[in-house]
Amino acid sequence: MTSTAVEPAGGGWEDYLEIFYAPSKVFARRGSRWGGPLLVLVIVTAIVVLGTKGLLGSLLQQDNARVMAEKMKTMTPEQVAQVQKFGNKTGEFLPYFIIVFTAILPFILGIFYWLVGKVVGATQELGAAFMVATFSYFPRILAGALTGLQAAVLPEEKLTGMASISYSPARFLDPAHTSLGVMALAARFDIFILWTTVLLAIGLKVTGKVTTDKAVIAGVIMFLLGSLPALFQMLRS
């Protein structure tokens, strides 16, 4: 009698828990199935974002004011008025923009992730890249809930912007005396962003059949690509 290898099942609700402590098993089970995880990601993100928007509104306004102050140095009064008007409208729709962006981000991230995987010799399928990219953002849901909790319990004088409730070195910088570029780059070293990067590396090792060293290299490349806007902003400032 010959034995037949049985491929892992597609996964179920347990994947949404195990992704936090047993990601390799989740990636091995899921294969290229990303539709369900994306739907869950968007729904839960919407709940968290809409549930915390009242707590985070003032922090976002403080960050926006600092950005405006920086732009005003090189703008005419008319341009400032237009940007302020646009900024006010943008602030109202920001929570909904975040939800929509969450729905398309795994595809953008997945394509870059898939290409980086090819650079290190991965055999990962594009669908698997979308799946890993989607699951890699699940820690951000936890981050959103925890930042909302901080905004609710911390003293008002401690709340000086989104960085003040982040889990990055930016939390310990004074936004009034630190350039926007440095703040943005420091914010990239957030625990949850690093967690996302680690999940991307693990996912590539599992679905792309690469060595640990190559998976780490791919993770570092992805982190650096995500840091480019902050680096450019720091150089400009």
The 10s digit of each residue's pLDDT in 60-104 is 777 677 766 666 666 666 666 666 666 555 666 778 888 999 999
Please report the pLDDT score of residue 134 as a whole number: 96
Q: What is the 3-state secondary structure (H, E, C) of the chain?
A: CCCCCCCCCCCCCCHHHHCCCCHHHHHHHHCCCCHHHHHHHHHHHHHHHHHHHHHHHHHHHHHHHHHHHHHHHHCCHHHHHHHHHHHHHHHHHHHHHHHHHHHHHHHHHHHHHHHHHHHCCCCCCHHHHHHHHHHHCHHHHHHHHHHHHHHHHCCHHHCCCHHHHCCCHHHHCCCCCCCHHHHHHHHCCCHHHHHHHHHHHHHHHHHHCCCHHHHHHHHHHHHHHHHHHHHHHHHHC
Please report the pLDDT score of residue 56 as a whole number: 77
pLDDT at 7 over 80: no
pLDDT at 142 over 50: yes
Q: Considering only 49-53, 165-169, 195-199, which range has the smallest mean pLDDT? A: 49-53
pTM (two decimals): 0.84
Average pLDDT over residues 106-126: 95
